[in-house]
Structures are given as C-alpha cells and as structure tokens.
Structure 1
Amino acid sequence: MRISKLYLLIALATSAPAFAADLALTPWAPSLNAEAMTFLNAKEHLTASPRDGLQLVDAKGAELARFNGNFTSLDTRAAGAQTLVASLDNDRQQAMLISLDASTKTFGKPLYLPTRDFAVNGLCLYRDSAANVFVFLVGEEGKGEQWLVGNGATLLNQPQRVRGLPLPPSAQFCQVDDAGNRLVVNEENVGWWAYPAHPEADVKRTPIAVFDTPKREAGALALVPGGVIGLDPKTAQLHLFQQTGERWTEQASLSLPGLKEPEQLSIHGQQVLVRDDDSGKLYQGKLNWQAKPVPVEPVIPEVAALRQSDPVARQGDAADDPAIWIHPEHPEKSRVLGTNKKQGLLAYDLDGKLMQELAVGRLNNVDVRPNFKLGTQTVDLAVASNRDHNSLSLFSIDRATGELREAGEVPTPLKAIYGICLFQPASGEVYAVANDKDGTFLQYRLSAPDGRVQGELVRQFKVDSQPEGCVADDQRQRLFIGEEDVGVWAVDARADQPATLTNVIKVGAQLHADVEGLALYQSDKRDYLVISSQGNDSYLVVDAEPPFASHGAFRVGLNAAAGIDGASETDGIEVTAVNLGGPWNKGMLVVQDGRKRMPEQAQNFKFVPWAEVTRTLNLP
C-alpha cells in the first residue's frame, strides 16, 4: 500500500521564529511517579509507573483510578465510553491491553500478548478504517511485530499475530497516525522513520529526519495533524517535521530549558507534557504551533473473506490465478482451481481445503468452460498458460467428481506466454485466448475429435504494452483484456471479426496500475466486470456493458472472527453469480492474496461472499 500523499498541512504561527526558541515549561504533578504519560483529553491523563502501576489522574495529577502493577510504555485509543490502553507489564515481560471505562473510572480485565522471544522496548496502538485495533511491538535488534487485539471497544479473547516487520535496531518509541495509516519509529543515533501501518501493506520505510552526528539523538515522538514532533534528548529540543510529497522537512524547533535528560513526550492540541529522566519530574508547556486541516484521502470500503484456501506449496510469488468450476448437478460440490506458477495446478473445495494438485510446471493463468468433447467423452475443460513450454496446458474435469486429469498440450509460438482466458459462444466450441508479455494475443480453436487435444490458430492481434488478465463474455461475444500500465479494453471475441480496441477504463484515479485479474459477475439482473487494481490493493466494479459505468472500489480486509487476513498485491481473480449454497447463495468472489499474513505463510486464495460486495457498494 502506498503511503497517502494527502496530509494535514502545518501552518506555523506568524510569531514563531525560524531559530530554536525556548518552550516555557512549568512543573506538573510533582508527586506523580510516572515513566510514561499520555493525554486522554484536556482534563484527564493516564500514566504508567513501575511503582504505582497505571493511574488515571486529573489535570493536576490527582489520582482518579489505578490498576496496580509494574508498567512502562503507554498508548491509548478512545472507543466510545471506553478507552483501550496498551502498556508493558515489566513483571511478566509481556505487552498488556486493558479497557478503561471513562464514566465509572474503572479498569477492565487485562489481555496479555504471548511472551515474545525478544525484549520489547516499546509499543503503540493503531486502529484502521474498519475499526480493527492493532498493537505494534518495538523490540531489540530490530525486531518488530504487529498484533490484532480487538475491534471497536471490544478486545479479542485471543490476540492474533499479524506479521513481523524489520525495524531499526535501536528503536524504543513508536506512534501511529490512524488516518494516514502510518507508523513512525525512532532510530536512536540515526533519526525517525515512517512505515505503512496497514496489515496488508508492503514493508518499506521513508526517512522523516536522518542525521549522522553524535550531537543529535532521535528519542520519543508525538503526532500532530500533518506532522511529527520528535524529541532530541541530547540537545533537549523538540523538532517539528512536515511532509510534502515524498519528502519530510523540518519546520521549526523548540528548546526545553532546564531539562537535562528529556525522555518521554505527550502532546494534546497545543498542550505538552515531557519527563526529565535526570530528575524524574514532569513538566508542562504550551506550543505556539498551529495546524490547518485539509481533506485526507478517501477511505476505500472493505469486505471480509469468509474462507481461505490452504497455502500453496511454494514460497515467494507463487499463487497467481483462480478459476471456479461449477458442479453441473450439485453446486455445493463445486471447486476453486488455482495456479501455482512454481509448481502446477491446484483444486480446492469451497472451504479452501486442498483436494488435488497436479505438479505439471509453471502455470500462470487458468480458465474453465463446460461440455468439451474429448473424443467420445463429454468433460469440462480447464486450460492454463504454461510458462515452462510457452504452451497451453489442458485438463479434463470429471463432471461427476470434479477430478482433474491432464488432457494434453497445445504449443504456441509465443516467447513469454502470460495470461489466458476461454471463450465459448452459443455454438459450443471452445476458444483459448493467450497473450505474451510483448502484447501479442493469439486465439486458438480447441478440439479433440480423436481424444487428442489440438489447437487451430484463428486470430492474432496486439496491444502496445504488457497485458495479462482477460475474460470473455460468452453471451455478448465480447472479450475484456487488461493492459497492465494502461487500463482495460473491450474487443469482439469472434475470430472472424476485426480486433478493434474499445476503451473500458484507463489507469487513473479509480484504477491503479498494475491492472491485473479480470472477472465477470453475470446474473439475471445485472452483469459486472471486476478488476484487480493492484497498485492500491483494491477491486473495481464496473458495468459489463457500455458505457461501462463504475460502481466504486472495495478492498478485502481481515476477518478477525474467522482469523483470516485481508488480501493485497492481488494478481488473478474470479467470480460467479451461481448459487453455491450457504454463504455463497449470491455467488462467490475468489482473489489471490499476494501477502499471506495472520500467520505469515505462503500465498493463498481468499473466498468472499458476493452478497458482501453487493451490500458494501450498494450495487443495483
């Protein structure tokens, strides 16, 4: 996931000097023994102490509630009348989550993360657009983890590890900008870094401030609208950083007079709390920096997968493209086929259990059509693009059992075969349309009159750059093809017609390159083209008929109750409107998941009830 470029801008007050001015500080709550503190609101604070545990205090530091224990590090998220609190329990050496009821001033039952195999230096909370709550652990030697711990105000009975991520080796502090899905972490002798926080995001980092001098140190940090305030313990200064495009720049700094070892920092609006580690005392001040809000990037709605397939048997970029075979008499016995481009063809039941695997080579894309004459037999047919032989690999599907068998191979002159889809007009013959990375498309008429498959080349055309995904509308005799960096085209699927390209949608605000999998949802009410917009980990739904009106995009997010992660970096997709029974009574969407998490495993496929897509996008 790309870091959002639309942020809240920081406007400094006109009186703010360009050099480092002093921040006026006064002692706050001298009787408190706190090693970490945070604002709950303008009048209440929460502190963490090895001696006094977690304390809810008023604006003057008077205790309102306490949870006994030995705690350091602290972060919170408001959730209605509840506040979710994360801290480190030093006695148990475990991260702990606990709810605080604002009205009754009482703490709930603690939830502990499992003991880790590394020392946890710090933690911070993150809440995504679907109200899922996560905690990031910042550990020694660059070890970091993200855990799912709740949704809304409710904590899970059992936390779930989402992913590990490499962090700076000397990190101690972190904060998350929920709206920007951004994790910010310090690296003591280097600076501050920003990481994508979303659980499906790629692991990458962007420097906020980097320095190479022993005179500076990156310590605690706080988030303000549109920026980051970092604390430098060596110079006893606060630094404000703002992002413009991909770069961060320092806007201003403030000295903290009288403090020898400032360590902890909390900011609420213009109010500042800072702790001097030398004296153990807390100080308060008021910033003269002002924030000017501007709109942020719109939130893409999410649906959740109800099932997921077993992981494929190869690591790395392996799973690619699914297809759905419909059982002709018992739809609930239908199967999902999937390619493993490092192994072969896979078949799963509707619960995602692996039923069959054929290790036939590097298959990339696959498609299915019924009623193919294989000699004297009538079978259903699966065809895949075989990158080992630049050929078409054909498989028969037993119409009673769903069992797959190799049925032969059709060679092609393509140098780098890539995508494939099938077309079956009302007359019943089956055509395979394969493409090459150079943009070439070849259309073959498939047959097997004597039981041996053969392919007759009946048409050839080309697009200007690399394609892959394609899908045929058999009813309208229309072929949709994806040109990865350009968009989606429609072309007449009939072999005796010219291959005139008609624009469906171009890469732009809605569709982000790469354009990957294409699939058709065809019902007696409405037909939709579904497109994998890989560049922003979403799926776009447009009408399957001109003018190809868009109905919006959605993402596949995690299903906390079922323990299924979301989907991202998606290559192939497939969808059917057939009632497959149970949750699939309005059809099923299958998407390849390029980043399998919770737990981290080899790639797999996610199964989504189409009814959820209809509800989420309010489809007619």
Structure 2
Amino acid sequence: MRISKLYLMIALAACSPVMAADLALTPWAPSLKAEAVTFLPNATQRLAASTRDGLQLLDNQGAELASFKGNFSSLDTRAAGTQVLVASLDNDRQQALLVSLDAATKTFGKPLYLPARDYPVNGLCLFRDAAANLFVFLVGEEGKGEQWLVGNGTTLLSNPQRVRGLPLPPSAQFCQVDDATQQLLVNEENVGWWAYPAHPEADVKRIPVALFDNPKREAGAMALVPGGVVTLDPKTAQLHLFRQTGEHWVEQGSLTLPGLKEPEQLSVSGQHVLVRDDDTGRLYQGKLDWKATPVDAEPVVPEVAALRQTDPVGRQGDAADDPAIWIHPEQPAKSRVLGTNKKQGLLAYDLDGKLLQELAVGRLNNVDVRANFKLGAQTVDLAVASNRDHNSLSLFSIDRQSGELREAGEVPTPLKEIYGICLFRPASGEIYAIANGKDGTFLQYRLSAPDGRVQGELVRQFKVDSQPEGCVADDQRQRLFIGEEDVGVWAVDARADQPATLTSVIKVGPQLHADVEGLALYQSKERDYLVISSQGNDSYLVLDAEPPFTTHGAFRVGLNAAAGIDGASETDGLEVTAMNLGGPWSKGMLVVQDGRKRMPEQTQNFKFVPWAEVTRALKLP
C-alpha cells in the first residue's frame, strides 16, 4: 500500500505552530514482525525487538544480520565506544535485560538481567549522565517507576544497583531520556506527556510537555530530536513536535499519519522516521524535513566521588545536618567525624563511616570543634552544637586519646530559634562560640569552665537582614565567614572587641545558588580555600579564603559506581580539613551531608570525599 506523498517542513525555531499535514509513508520490511525498532548510531543498521524472533540486528532494508533469541518488547540503545548497549524487556523471564552489541562483527555479548520486579514493567529507557554512568529507567503499572545503575563508560556492571524509586503516572508505558538536558520524558495515556529530572540526585518533580482534556486524544510513544521531542497520538494518528523553551514546552507542528489505524511504536533518526501500526503489525517509514535547533545544554559541572559514607542516621526525613572533623592529636587515622541528627542528637563516626557513638541529647543542628579546652583541671577537646530543643549551646568534651565524647554542659541563649553555630579561637587561646538565630541575630560567647562547669559570657551581638545558618571562623586571620541563605556570604572581623562590619564575599547569583548552607575552610601551607554548599543547584563552590575571594569553580559529589555509593544533594552542612589523615585522605578530607540517600534509599547520611579529587576536578593551584 502506498500512501500519498506530502512532506512537511517543520522549523523548530518557529514561534507559531505549523498546521497539520500528511506525512508520506511507505511500508518498510513487510515480512518483519517486531514490537519495536530503533535506528543504530551508524545510520545503516536497525535493531528490532520481537516476541517471536528475539533481538534482531537488521540492515537498512530490514534483512536480518544477527539475532539474540528470545521473546522481547520495548527497546532503547546507547553507543559505547565501538559497541552499542541495548536495553529490552525479556517477556519470558519478565525481567529487564541489557546486552552489548558489536554491530561490526554482528555479535551480541553476555546478557545482564535486572532482578525481577514485584510489578509489571511496561517499558524502559536508558540514560547516560555527564560522568558516563549508565542508568535504566523502568516504567511500571500503577505509577511504579525505578532508576537502576547498570554501567559505567563502556562497561556493564556485574551487579546492577537500584538507585531510587520514582512515582510515575499510573498509565505510563513509554519513556525517553535526553542525556544532554538530563530529562526523563514519560507519557500518561489519557493526560499527556511529562518531563522529570533524570539525574539520580535530582528532586522528584515534573513539568508538563503537553496536557489535554480530550477523550479523542491519547499520549503514546515519543522520540527525541535535537531541541525537542516528537510524540505520537495513536487515537488521532498524528505526530506532534514540541520544543523546550526554558521551563516550558511549545508545540511547533503536527503531522497526520494517513492510513494507519493504530500507530504505536515510534523511532526517529535525523530526518528518518519509523512507525509501527499495531492493527496490522507492519512498519512504515517516512521522511521529516526540518531545520533542527538544539537546545543549549547547561554547562557541565565536574563531579567527584565519595570514597566512604556513614551509616544512615537513625531518624526518617530531614534529619542529618552538619558535620565536624575532630583530629586525633597523635594518630590522625583515629580521627573522627561528628555529625548532627537534628531529630536526635550527636553522632560520631570513624574514617570508614562506621557509627561509634550516639548521644541522644536533643535536636542538634550545627556542630563545630576546637582543641585544648580547659575543663576544670582537665584539658580536653571541645565540640559545641546548637540545641534547638532548648535554644542553647550544648557542649561536649572529647577525650584527646580515645576520642570519646561526653556531655559537658549547656549554655542558654536568648535566641528564639537558634540555628547555626561555629567556634573561633584567637591567638590568645580562649574559645568563642558564635551562634545565630533564624531572625538573623548573631551572638558571640566566650566559653570557659574554670571549676569544671561550663559557662558562656555574651561578648558581642550583631545582625543580618534575613535568615543565616552556616558560619566558619578563620582563626589565623581572625575573620568570620557567615552565610545569609538567600543573599550570599559575608566576612566580618571575628574579634569580640571589634565592630561587626560586613564585607561581601560572594552574592547569590550565577555561581552561588540559594540556599547558601554549609561553610568550611581548607587551610594548608600552600593555599586556603573557602568551601560553600550551594544547595540550590546541588554543588559546592570553592573560593580563595582571602580577598578578593577569587572563585575557582564549582563541583558536585556524584555517585561512585565501583564502591556502590550514591552522590550527594540537598546538602546542608559540610566540613573539610587539610590534615593528612592517612591513606586516601593524605591531602585532606571533605565531608558533606547528603539530603537524599539513594542506592539504596535510606535515611540521610554523610559522604567522605578525598580532597585530592576536588583538587583534580577543579585543577586547583
């Protein structure tokens, strides 16, 4: 059967929709019985998934070149060096499968199966992130979706790892991922098409590509094109082209598929399109003549991987908050990472992330440490945390040999909602605690315990205009850095007898995304850096710790496929040290709170990153 030859010019850059026209289609490979067909990167071959003939490598006329026997449906591919990685659904085993294909030698590799799921899987699609990690998304019935890590670079993992569950539309069957913009596109049969962030550390949210309230319409399969997506409406037998402009999607044109009663599957490569008519089981090919205008992708932020992570905290929800690093004075490898659980208390971990101590003293928010505090006749190291139960400072002694923490007392404050805290030690040797409240008030206390009972003397008070939290003191330069969450970072003289004149370090803008959260100082013989948690875009900014506070760039903490450690996002607090803690921490350690614990999904925790990886990623001097 030959269908009328009408070609459509679709200009992706056009501002107004193009009127619907017929697309000229001709039958392709009439004898082929396939559930799905896709174009391979070399453009001269196709790949088919068949319930009868398995996975089939085809030439451009549809003749079989090689096959992987079985009963398959759904199909997606990604190039991997000289090979192609293929994802499909094995209907006999009811499992998702991944297999490598060498198109040149026409051979399939050893299959990798995802574990069987407890729900029917309707479809799947692949995603490769900027760090070359390969993921597969599963689209299931009743709104169930999952993201799995299945490979890195050109290699498939021997043991796929579930990254996260993802709530999807209840009637979803098809998905596609745009690797460049890191967006997962999913259909909702009677509603339209949605776009979700695909990155494993992204928040779960969606924006509409196109929605309709019309029983005569149906949202079906999709195919990505430069700068947009082509969608298939099986009920109207039409293709629709959408282009993304900012946060919105705009329809640019539509094509009618005359003669097709139940168009279902769709594949596009350049100007070539393949459509399957479920009514006859036949495939049709056509040509789309358009001028493609790719969407500018966001600049790639370099990623570093965590080498260790802590045990998950013992409370659900937003619990873990701020870390501090206690350095053992004689054996740095016995140092500890302290962390607050703002629903429980203070936690202490070894450098492998194992929980050593848990002090259930209340809702602690931020914590900081300093060495050599006189607690009566004893010399101990000191940890101080902001206690939101009592709007007070909770003090803890740290045994300088064993690292054991003990409650050492409490200092009340007049703050109505205490929030952040940091410690400052000038050359004179006393220790100050600088606490802040959500109303912007900062209070500076001189801490002492001459008779073994801790006390705090209020020595200075100042204020910023809106909510602060993170702060860190540079003891050497007697400078205090404070973060105003929606505004930026300020520097102020840390000395109690000096005026609190605020100097801007960096404002919220293109580099620093609100909320401004944790602040920390990396101080070495060579260079001092200020590290900031840019929570709004899940990144960490590195600046010189001295004026003019030159920025050295931002990085993210991505997943470590080999170690099975997920990345970090929604970071509240962080801490860094330049001390040689041994092994991978010879150049220091960065600790960040992870607001979304994944792979597997558990309560929040803290991630440990070798500072050497940050130096490498940002090419720091």
* TM norm structure 2: 0.97
3-state SS of the aligned residue for 1:479? strand
1:154 aligned to 2:139? no
Partner of 1:23: 23
- Seen in structure 2, the aligned counterparts of structure 1 residues 477 and 61 have a Cα distance that, compared at 3 Å, is same
Contact conserved, 2:228 with 2:243, CA < 8 A, in 1?
yes
Q: Residue by residue, what CA displacement relative to the aligned partner does 1:93-145 show, whole Å, maximum 9, x if unpaired? A: 00000000122111000000000000000000000000000000000000000
**Partner amino acid for 1:153?**
T
Q: CA deviation at 1:245?
A: 2.3
Deviation, structure 1 residue 176: 0.1
Match of 1:379 in 2: 380
Contact 1:73 1:87 in 2 (8 A): yes
Deviation string 1:188-235 (CA, Å, 9 cap, x unpaired) is: 011000000000000011111111111000000111111111100000
Within-5 A mapping of 1:46-65: 46-65=47-66
Q: Look up the SS of the partner of 2:142 in the other structure.
A: helix
Whole-angstrom CA distance in 2 between matches of 1:388 and 1:323: 20
Cα separation, 1, equivalents of 2:270 and 2:453 = 75
Q: Which residue of 2 aligns with 1:250?
A: 251
1:370 to 2:375 alignment: no
Aligned to 1:67: 68
Q: Answer whether contact 2:29 2:283 (CA < 8 A) is retained.
A: yes
Pairing 1:399–2:421 present: no
2:34 aligns to what? Answer: 34
Q: Structure 2 counterpart of 1:179, which letter?
A: A
Which residue does the alignment assign to 2:515? 514
Cα distance in 1 for partners of 2:209, 2:157 equals 34
Distance 1:559 1:85, change over 3 A: same
1:247 deviation in Å?
Answer: 1.8
Q: Which runs of 4+ in 1 moved over 3 A?
A: 10-14
Measured in 2, the distance between the counterparts of 1:491 and 1:521 equals 18
Deviations 1:27-61 (A, max 9, x none): 00111111101100321110000000000101101
Displacement after TM superposition at 1:290 (Å): 1.9
Aligned-pair CA distance for 1:244 = 1.9
Q: Distance in 2 between matches of 1:366 and 1:373?
A: 19
> Partners of 2:297 and 2:139 in 1: how far apart?
28
TM-fit CA distance, 1:17:
8.1
Other structure's SS at 1:612 match: helix
| 1:289-313, Cα deviation, whole Å (9 max, x unpaired) | 2212353210000000000000000
Question: 1:611 is paired with a residue of what secondary structure?
Answer: helix
Aligned to 1:94: 95
- 1:276-330 per-residue CA deviation (whole Å, 9 max, x = no partner) reads 0000000000112221235321000000000000000000000000000000000
CA contact (8 A) 1:13 1:289 kept: no
* 1:487 equivalent in alignment to 2:488: yes
1-side partners of 2:166 and 2:126: how far apart?
A: 15
Deviations 1:339-388 (A, max 9, x none): 00000000000000000000000000000000000000000000000000
Q: Residues 391-470 of structure 1: matches in 2 within 5 Å?
A: 391-470=392-471
Structure 2 Cα separation of the partners of residues 248 and 75 of structure 1: 24
Identity of aligned residues (%): 86
Matched, 1:104 2:108: no
Classify 1:183/1:294 alpha carbon distance in 2 versus 1 (closer, same or farther; 3 Å): closer
CA displacement, residues 499-525 of structure 1 (integer Å, 9 cap, x when unaligned)? 001111011111000000000000000
SS of residue matched to 1:499:
coil
1:18 shift after superposition: 2.6
Q: Specify the alignment match of 1:573 in structure 2.
A: 574
Deviation at 1:486, TM superposition (A): 0.5
2:217–2:236 contact (8 Å) kept in structure 1: yes
Mean Cα deviation higher: 487-496 or 16-25:
16-25
Match status 1:138 vs 2:142: no
| Cα 1:341–1:276 shift into 2, 3 Å | same
**1:31 corresponds to which letter in structure 2?**
S
Match of 1:194 in 2: 195
**Count of equivalent residues:** 611
Give the AA of the match of 2:85: L
* 1:367 maps to amino acid: D
Find the residue that maps to 2:292 and give its secondary structure. strand
Amino acid at match of 1:254: L
Partner in structure 2 of residue 343 of structure 1: 344
CA contact (8 A) 1:534 1:570 kept: yes
Aligned to 2:80: 79
| Alpha-carbon separation, structure 2, partners of 1:279 and 1:293 | 35
Pairwise CA distance, 1:246? 1.9
Partner Cα separation in structure 2 for residue 591 and residue 601 of structure 1: 16
Structure 1: gaps spanning 5 or more residues: 1-9
For residue 535 of structure 1, what is the aligned residue in structure 2? 536
Shift of 1:554: 0.3
- Taking only aligned residues, the RMSD between alpha carbons, in angstroms, comes to 1.2
Q: What letter is aligned with 2:20?
A: A
1:79, distance to aligned residue in structure 2 (A): 1.0
Task: Say whether 1:181 aligns with 2:182.
Answer: yes
Q: Write the distance in 2 (CA, Å) between the matches of 1:253 and 1:444.
A: 68
Residue 3 of structure 2 aligns with which residue?
Answer: none
Partner of 1:518: helix, strand, or coil? strand
Amino acid at match of 2:32: L
State the distance in 2 between where 1:434 and 1:12 align: 54
- 8 Å CA contact 2:244, 2:295 repeated in 1: no
Quick one: distance in 2 between partners of 1:310 and 1:192?
39
Q: Gaps spanning 5+ residues in structure 2: where?
A: 1-9
- Structure 2 counterpart of 1:68, one-letter code: K
AA in 2 matched with 1:78 = A
SS at match of 1:616: helix
CA displacement, residues 144-195 of structure 1 (integer Å, 9 cap, x when unaligned): 0000000111000100000001000000000000010100000001100000
Matched residue, 1:212: 213
